[in-house]
């Protein structure tokens, strides 16, 4: 045991907490200290002075580099270990007592084996380091749908990011004391050795253990680990949904706002859609777009039968490459100050830079080397920015509403270069669940592995669902019951390509034209053509003013390829079959119904 640790002084509330709800937390912290042997323990309070001290510590040891204070005040650059730059799905485990509860969609390890394996790595790993205890709340601090957690880490970079990404500190600790429940997260950067790296989830214990990585999704345990993998398990137990979705509000010229939740795999445009800026003609007409969240959405049924959603996060952990004044002006405006950049390049005057930002030439790449295009991109393809959501110009005034915002439509989408049209509407809730469950997308740089490979990514939750997908689909289906007033479900594909390999749809702000059609469908005002795969708009059903589409684009974006969809539904049947007898018959029956109409 490290002699520097003085147990009584590290306990929140000292002896006065005996018998209180914080006793379990204090005991767990001391158990972790005995295992990891830190030189000191620091309980995080979320204060400005604490944050300033963290930044000073990291600047002193070189792990955080100041950027140009004139162009990006109070902004910083962090460079990861080159072998620690993305989520590691192959080293991420869901550890349930019964292997089938984790499902074929997760890597599984028996809980006892998993604890033993990772605790052996944690033993003594914090010697000479400070152990930070981070109480945090996912969601507005006074929301009944919010849930609390505590992350223990030896990384000040993680603490700084968690302060931006969650409601962290004294208020969260007070809520934990009131409720007596929290998710336990234990993290250490370890040696940053890829051979000694695991991210373990224990849903039945509401516990996360992550070792050997400092990268966001592996280390900021409130994010994917808690807000999706553990929360999805909690949501099933408690009757709500924890989803990999943005939440955006669309206000029409009449002053009506419809909120849309949309699921896309990472790096497929969630942040761009969440911060969409309407085309000029729409802005002049009075359309407005409000950002509630760009990545994660928690939804529950309200008293009126509608689904209400909160964004459990308080910040954005966005992909930098491709973010520009053209693609996402709101994101760019958000990150001009008080931002932590990770693995971006820098210019001669020490400004952050990445591919797709502008035409300047960087001088240092993401590893800190002199930039040489022959050595690859200047910024890592998965480089990131961490910033408070409140800095976004389109930040919704209702983002902190404790009851959440009512959802009018749910949208699924991924990268599909062929077959899938621009947009279609599901026939009903069951069909919509099948659309989400069978969603396919080409992989991106947000996870390790090959890029551009088409894989099934149900509801964009393949890397994030904390239990068996067969049970997850059944949970989705369970919301369709008497008294429910459920959102309409749609599927979009911004990434359809022509024969020349170029995108057929302009995307970005013009995506509002598609959202307008969806809202029209919700209100019973927009036209569509019924097909076996759902209701498709004709080109004439969208406002395409000032949008130039070639005949090929009109055919492929609004067309229906019966032969192609017949093959697609054969693939969907095979995919659903992978879950065996655990799969409820509803979705296979829906697949068969549609496949029959495609003959």
Return d(Cα 278, Cα 400) in angstroms, integer.
23
Whole-number Cα distances in Å, 175 to 144, 170, 185, 208, 414: 11, 9, 17, 20, 38
Q: Is 566 annotated as a binding residue?
A: no
CB distance 274 to 323 below 8 Å: no
Q: Sign (positive/negative) of CA torsion 10, 11, 15, 16?
A: positive
Return d(Cα 261, Cα 543) in angstroms, integer.
22
CB distance 395 to 291 below 8 Å: yes
Q: Which residues lie closer than 8 Å to 70 by C-beta, 6 or more apart? A: none
Q: Is 369 annotated as a binding residue?
A: no
Name the active-site residue from 137, 268, 297, 465.
268
Q: Is 390 annotated as a binding residue?
A: no
- The residue written with tokens 């036209």 in the block is 527
Q: Is 270 annotated as a binding residue?
A: yes
CB distance 209 to 440 below 8 Å: no
Return d(Cα 512, Cα 505) in angstroms, integer.
12
Return d(Cα 57, Cα 41) in angstroms, integer.
15
Q: Is 127 annotated as a binding residue?
A: no
CB distance 337 to 68 below 8 Å: no
Q: Is 272 annotated as a binding residue?
A: yes
Q: Is 383 annotated as a binding residue?
A: yes
418 φ, ψ (degrees, to nearest 5):
-140, 175
Return d(Cα 288, Cα 252) in angstroms, integer.
7
HSE-up (13 A, CA, CB side) for residue 525: 7
* Helices and strands counted in the chain (H then E): 18, 29
Nearest by Cα to 319 from 393, 360, 373, 377: 377
Q: Is 215 annotated as a binding residue?
A: yes
Q: Is 413 annotated as a binding residue?
A: no
Q: Is 271 annotated as a binding residue?
A: yes
Q: Is 508 annotated as a binding residue?
A: yes
Q: Is 457 annotated as a binding residue?
A: no
Q: Is 325 annotated as a binding residue?
A: no
297 is catalytic: no
Q: Is 485 annotated as a binding residue?
A: no
What b-and-e string marks burial along 229-244, b requiring 16 or more CB atoms within 10 Å of the CB? bbbbbbbbeeebbbbb
Q: Is 266 annotated as a binding residue?
A: yes
* Extended beta strands in 352-449, E state: 352-353, 384-388, 405-413, 423-425, 440-442
Q: Is 83 annotated as a binding residue?
A: no
Return d(Cα 372, Cα 362) in angstroms, integer.
9
Q: Is 501 annotated as a binding residue?
A: no
Return d(Cα 90, Cα 213) in angstroms, integer.
13
Q: Say if strands 107-108 and 92-94 run parallel, antiparallel, or are unpaired.
A: parallel
Q: Is 212 annotated as a binding residue?
A: no
Q: Is 49 annotated as a binding residue?
A: no
Q: Is 437 annotated as a binding residue?
A: no
The binding site for Mn(2+) comprises 224, 244, 295
Q: What is the set of active-site residues?
A: 268
The binding site comprises 87, 215-217, 224, 244, 266-272, 295, 382-384, 415, 508-511
The binding site for substrate comprises 87, 215-217, 266, 382-384
The binding site for GTP comprises 267-272, 384, 415, 508-511
């Amino acid at each position: 045991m490290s002699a520097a640790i003085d147990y009584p002084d590290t306990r929140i509330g000292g002896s006065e907490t005996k018998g209180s709800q914080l006793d379990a937390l204090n005991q767990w912290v001391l158990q972790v200290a005995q295992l990891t042997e830190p030189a000191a323990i620091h309980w995080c309070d979320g204060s400005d002075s604490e944050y300033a001290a963290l930044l000073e510590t990291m600047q002193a040891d070189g792990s955080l580099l100041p950027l140009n204070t004139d162009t990006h005040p109070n902004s910083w650059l962090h460079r990861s270990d080159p072998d620690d730059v993305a989520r590691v799905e192959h080293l991420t485990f869901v550890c349930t007592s019964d292997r089938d509860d984790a499902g074929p969609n997760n890597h599984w390890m028996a809980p006892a084996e998993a604890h033993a394996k990772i605790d052996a790595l944690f033993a003594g790993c914090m010697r000479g380091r400070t152990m930070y205890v981070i109480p945090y709340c996912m969601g507005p601090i006074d929301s009944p749908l919010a849930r609390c957690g505590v992350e223990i880490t030896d990384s000040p970079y993680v603490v700084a990011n968690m302060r931006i990404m969650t409601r962290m500190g004294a208020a969260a600790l007070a809520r934990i004391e009131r409720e007596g429940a929290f998710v336990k997260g234990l993290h250490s950067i370890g040696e940053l050795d890829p051979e000694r790296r695991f991210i373990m989830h224990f849903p039945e214990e509401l516990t996360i253990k992550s070792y050997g990585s400092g990268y966001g999704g592996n280390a900021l345990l409130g994010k994917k680990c808690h807000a999706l993998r553990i929360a999805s398990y909690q949501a099933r137990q408690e009757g709500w949904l924890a989803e990999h979705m943005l939440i955006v509000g669309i206000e029409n010229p009449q002053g009506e706002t419809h909120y849309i939740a949309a699921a896309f795999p990472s790096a497929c445009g969630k942040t761009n859609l969440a911060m969409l800026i309407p085309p000029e003609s729409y802005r002049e007409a009075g359309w407005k777009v409000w950002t509630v969240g760009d990545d994660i959405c928690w939804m529950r049924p309200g008293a009126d039968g509608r689904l209400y959603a909160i964004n459990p996060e308080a910040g954005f952990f966005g992909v930098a490459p491709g973010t520009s004044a053209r693609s996402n002006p709101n994101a760019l405006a958000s990150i001009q100050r008080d931002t932590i950049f990770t693995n971006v390049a820098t210019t001669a005057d020490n400004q952050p830079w990445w591919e797709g930002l502008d035409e300047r030439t960087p001088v240092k790449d993401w590893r800190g080397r002199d930039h040489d295009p022959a050595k690859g991109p200047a910024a890592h393809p998965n480089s990131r920015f961490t910033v408070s959501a409140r800095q976004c110009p389109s930040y919704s005034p209702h983002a902190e509403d404790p009851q959440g915002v009512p959802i009018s439509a749910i949208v699924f989408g991924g990268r599909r270069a062929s077959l899938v049209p621009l947009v279609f509407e599901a026939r009903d809730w069951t069909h919509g669940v099948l659309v989400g469950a069978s969603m396919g997308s080409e992989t991106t740089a947000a996870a390790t592995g090959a890029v551009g490979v088409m894989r099934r990514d149900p509801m964009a939750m393949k890397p994030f669902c904390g239990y068996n997908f067969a049970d997850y689909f059944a949970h989705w289906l369970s919301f369709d019951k008497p008294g429910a007033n459920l959102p309409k479900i749609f599927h979009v594909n911004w990434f359809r390509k022509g024969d020349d390999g170029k995108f057929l749809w302009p995307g970005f702000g013009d995506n509002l034209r598609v959202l307008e059609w969806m809202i029209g469908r919700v209100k019973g005002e927009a036209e569509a053509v019924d097909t076996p795969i759902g209701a498709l708009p004709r080109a004439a059903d969208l406002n395409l003013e000032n949008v130039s589409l070639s005949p090929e684009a009109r055919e492929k974006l609004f067309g229906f390829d019966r032969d192609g969809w017949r093959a697609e539904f054969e693939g969907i049947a095979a995919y659903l079959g992978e879950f065996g007898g655990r799969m409820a018959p509803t979705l296979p029956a829906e697949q068969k119904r549609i496949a029959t109409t495609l003959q």
